[in-house]
Amino acid sequence: MDFLRPEAFFDLSSYEHAGLFEGSNPVWEALTRISSYLQGQLRPNVAGVRCFRKPLPETVILWKGAVWRKGFEVLGGDPIKGALRVRVEGSEVADASVLYAGSVLWDEDIFIGPGVVLEPGALVKGPTLISGGTDLRQGAYIRGKCIVGRGCVVGHTTEMKSSIMLDGAKAGHFAYIGDSILGNSTNLGAGTKLANLKIGGTPVIIKVGGEKIDTGLRKFGAIIGDGVEIGCNAVTNPGTLLGKAAMVLPVSSVRAGYYPPESMVR
């Protein structure tokens, strides 16, 4: 079924982790490969922080492979627009990442790319890979086995586990992202929940036309194609596949199944 291949949902031409999707047919097979992919690709770079499982006592930056505790000034700016400004030893740099006092790294098995911000109260568990220009806002909770693309937002009290965000994906407020894939430039409205476990815990079965496909997955949230917009307080049921540029209206309960590109879901 070519319409269930990753390329039907995502433009992977410039995605730095496109290899994760190679041979995945149907697309949700990529979820089963997150752990092995991270084992091969993750290059942790936070060991020098030397503060784990508790809030950072001071703001630090990651720059040029080192942890800086002094000699810098955070000038501000929006990281997802590439506008984060940090002055290091008198010169402005564009590729420093800022870990604010009060943010939490749970372990060392974490990579943080250039120009990333961890706001106070954000908590990250490994294994996790966070690409450049991403904003982890106050109260964001990344529970591990996550790959976050460039220019993404994991927002206030948003929880993410065993999931993938492609470049420019945004979940700004009160969202749950479980065992799911968010495509390029997707947006989850405030309160969006991508439910990943059926009542009773039986494997997720997807209806496509008149056919039922057993995914074999007990936990499987949603596949959200490039450019999808989901309105506030919407819930997708386990095994929801939204094609490119689909739109889900606010306060919707989306039945499991496949929705073609540009669908309007009420």
d(CA 131, CA 143): 16
User: What pLDDT score was predicted for residue 210?
Assistant: 82
Q: Which two tokens stand for residue 260?
A: 């073609």
d(CA 116, CA 79): 6
Q: What are the tens digits of pLDDT across the range 11-54?
A: 999 999 999 999 999 999 999 999 999 999 999 999 999 999 99
Mean of the pLDDT values across residues 71-97?
A: 95
CA nearest to 49, candidates 107, 122, 96 = 107
pLDDT surpasses 90 at 208: no
Structural domains in the chain, CATH included, are 2-47+103-265 (2.160.10.10)
Mean of the pLDDT values across residues 120-146?
A: 98
User: What pLDDT score was predicted for residue 192?
Assistant: 98
92, β-bridge pairs: 87
d(CA 101, CA 123): 12
pTM above 0.95, yes or no: yes
Asked if 154 and 171 touch (Cβ cutoff 8 Å), the reply is yes
Q: Output the CA torsion sign for 74, 76, 79, 82.
A: negative
User: What pLDDT score was predicted for residue 6?
Assistant: 98
